[in-house]
Amino acid sequence: MDRIEEVLIALRRVIRATDLHSKYLAKTTGLTAPQILLLQAIRDKGQGTIGELAQDVNLSQATVTTILDRLEKRELVYRVRSQADKRKVHACLTEEGMEMLKQAPIPLQDHLTRHFNDLQDWEQTMIISSLQRVACMMDAQHIDASPVLDVGTLDRQSTPIDKPDAYSEEKAEKRN
């Protein structure tokens, strides 16, 4: 096997692992990785404003608001206006939200984080540099991406199979 095949196989394994874990989360909890991460952030904060939560999970406030809307419909979170500053709204976990977190599997990026943190500094730097180079080689450096391992759009309601991501849709439109 030549080196390019090894690279492509490794990339495909990463993509496939992400896809399989996303499907597993959807099947076992009905939630996406970003939804679970947001629930964890609310749990860890006790309650937080949308801006604080967005910063904690490295997503835009608009994306966090959309995710909160979906979590609120499932009665996993609720929002309450701040007593001190009426302009602020805090997100809080419901009992159902707390139970969901207790039962939810660990997000894939938590596994990656644990193993990555065990590496020496030079190994971490090498991985970062290599992945950034691969992204450039795939002409993907312009694609906006948050540090969440999940497939598709971050605020989706449907599973990845049901709804392709915006980038795939954009590529399909260009072909037609």
Q: pLDDT tens-digit profile of 32-88?
A: 888 998 999 999 988 789 999 999 888 889 999 999 999 999 999 999 988 888 888
- Out of 80-89, 109-118, 162-171, give the one with best mean pLDDT: 109-118
User: Domain-by-domain residue ranges, the chain?
Assistant: 3-175
Q: Which residues sit opposite 48 in a β-bridge?
A: 91
H/E stretch holding 90 reads: strand 89-93
Q: What is the mean pLDDT of residues 82-103?
A: 90
Tell me the CB-side half-sphere exposure of residue 53, using CA atoms within 13 A.
Answer: 32
Does domain 3-175 match CATH 1.10.760.10? no
Query: How much of the chain exceeds pLDDT 90, in percent?
Result: 48
For residue 109, give both structure tokens.
């990026």
Token code pair at residue 62: 């608009």
Give the pair of three-digit tokens for residue 82: 């701040």
Q: Name the burial class of residue 33, with classes exposed (0-12), middle (13-18) and buried (19+) by CB atoms within 10 angstroms of its CB.
A: buried
Q: Angle, nearest 10°, between helix axes 50-57 and 61-73? A: 110
Tokens of 73: 């419909």
Do 43 and 163 form a contact (C-beta atoms < 8 A)? Answer: no
